[in-house]
Amino acid sequence: MDSQSQIDSYSNSNNLDEQAIFAGGCFWCTEAVFLALKGVKEVLPGYIGGKTLDPTYKEICTGETGHAEAIQIKFDSSIIGFNELMEVFFATHDPTTLNRQGNDVGTQYRSEVFYFDENQKKITQEYIDFLNKNFTFAKPVVTKISPVSKFYTAEAYHHNYYNRNQSQGYCSFVIAPKMDKLKHKFQSKLKK
Protein backbone atom coordinates (compact mmCIF):
# COMPACT_ATOMS: atom_id res chain seq x y z
CA MET A 1 0.00 0.00 0.00
CA ASP A 2 1.50 3.39 -0.95
CA SER A 3 1.57 6.38 1.41
CA GLN A 4 -1.43 8.12 -0.12
CA SER A 5 -3.52 4.95 0.12
CA GLN A 6 -2.52 4.68 3.80
CA ILE A 7 -3.60 8.27 4.41
CA ASP A 8 -6.90 7.64 2.64
CA SER A 9 -7.60 4.42 4.55
CA TYR A 10 -6.84 6.03 7.93
CA SER A 11 -9.01 9.03 7.12
CA ASN A 12 -11.94 6.84 6.07
CA SER A 13 -11.85 4.41 9.00
CA ASN A 14 -14.90 4.27 11.28
CA ASN A 15 -13.03 3.52 14.51
CA LEU A 16 -11.15 5.81 16.88
CA ASP A 17 -7.92 5.69 14.88
CA GLU A 18 -6.74 9.08 13.75
CA GLN A 19 -3.51 10.39 12.34
CA ALA A 20 -1.21 13.36 12.55
CA ILE A 21 1.86 14.46 10.61
CA PHE A 22 4.58 16.48 12.35
CA ALA A 23 7.92 17.78 11.17
CA GLY A 24 10.22 18.70 14.04
CA GLY A 25 13.77 18.26 12.79
CA CYS A 26 15.39 14.87 12.34
CA PHE A 27 12.70 12.21 12.04
CA TRP A 28 14.82 9.74 14.01
CA CYS A 29 14.22 11.97 17.05
CA THR A 30 10.52 12.60 16.57
CA GLU A 31 9.82 8.96 15.70
CA ALA A 32 11.47 7.77 18.94
CA VAL A 33 9.48 10.24 21.03
CA PHE A 34 6.07 9.37 19.60
CA LEU A 35 6.65 5.60 19.51
CA ALA A 36 6.97 5.77 23.31
CA LEU A 37 3.47 7.24 23.87
CA LYS A 38 0.41 5.28 25.00
CA GLY A 39 -2.26 5.26 22.32
CA VAL A 40 0.20 5.65 19.45
CA LYS A 41 -0.19 2.63 17.21
CA GLU A 42 2.29 3.39 14.44
CA VAL A 43 4.87 6.01 13.51
CA LEU A 44 6.25 6.19 9.98
CA PRO A 45 9.21 8.43 9.14
CA GLY A 46 8.99 10.13 5.77
CA TYR A 47 9.04 13.22 3.61
CA ILE A 48 6.31 15.79 2.99
CA GLY A 49 5.79 19.29 1.68
CA GLY A 50 8.13 19.30 -1.29
CA LYS A 51 8.05 19.25 -5.06
CA THR A 52 10.14 16.20 -6.02
CA LEU A 53 8.21 12.99 -6.72
CA ASP A 54 9.31 9.93 -4.73
CA PRO A 55 12.25 11.67 -3.03
CA THR A 56 15.06 9.69 -1.45
CA TYR A 57 16.82 10.51 1.81
CA LYS A 58 19.90 11.54 -0.14
CA GLU A 59 17.83 13.95 -2.25
CA ILE A 60 15.99 15.58 0.64
CA CYS A 61 19.25 16.05 2.57
CA THR A 62 20.31 18.56 -0.09
CA GLY A 63 17.42 20.82 0.96
CA GLU A 64 16.52 21.26 -2.70
CA THR A 65 13.40 19.07 -2.86
CA GLY A 66 11.42 21.26 -0.46
CA HIS A 67 10.44 18.30 1.71
CA ALA A 68 10.59 18.20 5.48
CA GLU A 69 11.66 15.15 7.44
CA ALA A 70 8.40 14.23 9.15
CA ILE A 71 6.52 11.48 10.92
CA GLN A 72 3.06 10.15 10.21
CA ILE A 73 1.41 9.04 13.45
CA LYS A 74 -1.54 6.67 13.69
CA PHE A 75 -3.14 6.96 17.14
CA ASP A 76 -6.17 5.86 19.14
CA SER A 77 -8.00 9.04 20.09
CA SER A 78 -9.73 7.30 23.00
CA ILE A 79 -6.29 6.98 24.64
CA ILE A 80 -4.41 10.07 23.45
CA GLY A 81 -5.85 13.12 21.76
CA PHE A 82 -4.42 15.35 19.07
CA ASN A 83 -4.08 18.14 21.65
CA GLU A 84 -1.88 15.86 23.80
CA LEU A 85 0.27 15.01 20.78
CA MET A 86 0.66 18.77 20.24
CA GLU A 87 1.83 19.23 23.81
CA VAL A 88 4.51 16.53 23.40
CA PHE A 89 5.53 17.80 19.95
CA PHE A 90 6.18 21.35 21.12
CA ALA A 91 7.92 20.22 24.32
CA THR A 92 10.39 17.91 22.57
CA HIS A 93 11.85 20.12 19.82
CA ASP A 94 12.71 23.80 19.39
CA PRO A 95 9.81 25.41 17.50
CA THR A 96 11.49 28.84 17.56
CA THR A 97 14.33 28.18 15.12
CA LEU A 98 13.63 28.49 11.42
CA ASN A 99 14.89 25.53 9.38
CA ARG A 100 17.06 24.23 12.19
CA GLN A 101 17.14 21.78 15.08
CA GLY A 102 20.44 21.86 16.96
CA ASN A 103 23.24 21.13 14.50
CA ASP A 104 20.80 19.98 11.80
CA VAL A 105 20.35 22.93 9.45
CA GLY A 106 18.20 23.22 6.31
CA THR A 107 14.57 23.46 5.22
CA GLN A 108 14.25 19.69 5.65
CA TYR A 109 14.58 20.24 9.43
CA ARG A 110 11.82 22.85 9.73
CA SER A 111 9.08 22.78 12.33
CA GLU A 112 5.69 22.19 10.69
CA VAL A 113 2.33 20.63 11.47
CA PHE A 114 0.42 19.16 8.53
CA TYR A 115 -3.28 19.11 9.33
CA PHE A 116 -5.88 16.62 8.07
CA ASP A 117 -8.94 18.72 8.90
CA GLU A 118 -10.01 22.11 10.17
CA ASN A 119 -10.13 20.86 13.76
CA GLN A 120 -6.42 19.91 13.71
CA LYS A 121 -5.63 23.27 12.11
CA LYS A 122 -7.60 25.12 14.81
CA ILE A 123 -6.05 23.15 17.69
CA THR A 124 -2.55 23.78 16.31
CA GLN A 125 -3.07 27.52 15.84
CA GLU A 126 -4.63 27.90 19.29
CA TYR A 127 -1.76 25.99 20.89
CA ILE A 128 0.86 28.13 19.13
CA ASP A 129 -1.03 31.27 20.20
CA PHE A 130 -1.08 29.95 23.79
CA LEU A 131 2.68 29.27 23.76
CA ASN A 132 3.45 32.73 22.38
CA LYS A 133 1.01 34.55 24.69
CA ASN A 134 2.53 32.85 27.73
CA PHE A 135 6.14 33.41 26.58
CA THR A 136 6.79 29.67 26.89
CA PHE A 137 9.92 30.14 24.80
CA ALA A 138 12.38 33.02 24.72
CA LYS A 139 11.50 33.62 21.06
CA PRO A 140 8.21 33.34 19.12
CA VAL A 141 7.16 29.97 17.68
CA VAL A 142 7.90 29.76 13.93
CA THR A 143 6.20 26.40 13.33
CA LYS A 144 4.29 26.40 10.04
CA ILE A 145 0.75 25.03 9.77
CA SER A 146 0.00 23.46 6.38
CA PRO A 147 -2.61 21.15 4.86
CA VAL A 148 -1.54 17.54 4.37
CA SER A 149 0.07 16.82 1.03
CA LYS A 150 1.65 13.68 -0.40
CA PHE A 151 3.58 11.83 2.31
CA TYR A 152 6.43 9.61 1.12
CA THR A 153 7.45 6.89 3.56
CA ALA A 154 11.22 6.90 4.20
CA GLU A 155 13.50 4.02 3.36
CA ALA A 156 13.23 0.98 5.66
CA TYR A 157 16.53 1.59 7.46
CA HIS A 158 15.08 4.80 8.97
CA HIS A 159 12.17 2.96 10.64
CA ASN A 160 12.47 2.53 14.42
CA TYR A 161 15.97 3.96 14.06
CA TYR A 162 16.61 4.96 17.66
CA ASN A 163 15.46 1.68 19.16
CA ARG A 164 17.67 -0.28 16.74
CA ASN A 165 20.75 2.00 17.05
CA GLN A 166 20.88 3.34 20.61
CA SER A 167 24.67 3.01 20.87
CA GLN A 168 25.25 5.04 17.69
CA GLY A 169 26.70 8.51 18.41
CA TYR A 170 23.76 10.60 17.15
CA CYS A 171 21.34 8.47 19.14
CA SER A 172 23.42 8.73 22.32
CA PHE A 173 24.10 12.46 22.17
CA VAL A 174 20.99 13.89 20.48
CA ILE A 175 18.05 11.49 20.84
CA ALA A 176 18.74 10.01 24.30
CA PRO A 177 18.48 13.44 26.04
CA LYS A 178 15.12 14.02 24.31
CA MET A 179 13.94 10.64 25.56
CA ASP A 180 15.08 11.51 29.09
CA LYS A 181 13.14 14.78 28.90
CA LEU A 182 10.09 12.89 27.64
CA LYS A 183 10.30 10.41 30.54
CA HIS A 184 10.65 13.24 33.06
CA LYS A 185 7.89 15.47 31.72
CA PHE A 186 5.36 12.97 30.34
CA GLN A 187 5.78 9.84 32.48
CA SER A 188 2.02 9.22 32.68
CA LYS A 189 1.68 9.22 28.88
CA LEU A 190 4.39 6.61 28.24
CA LYS A 191 3.91 2.96 27.34
CA LYS A 192 5.02 0.53 30.05
pLDDT tens, residue by residue, 16-45:
689 999 999 899 999 999 999 999 999 999
User: What pLDDT, on a 0 to 100 scale, did the predictor assign at position 104?
Assistant: 82
Catalytic member of 26, 29, 61, 171:
26
For residue 26, indicate whether it is catalytic: yes
pLDDT band at 106 (very low <50, low <70, confident <90, very high): confident
Tell me the average pLDDT across 84-108: 90
For the chain, the average pLDDT equals 89
Helix (H, G, I), strand (E, B) or coil at 73: strand
Query: How far is the C-alpha of 13 from the C-alpha of 152, rounded, in Å?
Result: 21
Q: List beta partners, residue 20.
A: 73
User: What pLDDT, on a 0 to 100 scale, did the predictor assign at position 72?
Assistant: 97
Residue 2, by phi and psi: left (phi above 0), alpha (psi -120 to 50) or beta? beta
Query: How far is the C-alpha of 12 from the C-alpha of 95, rounded, in Å?
Result: 31
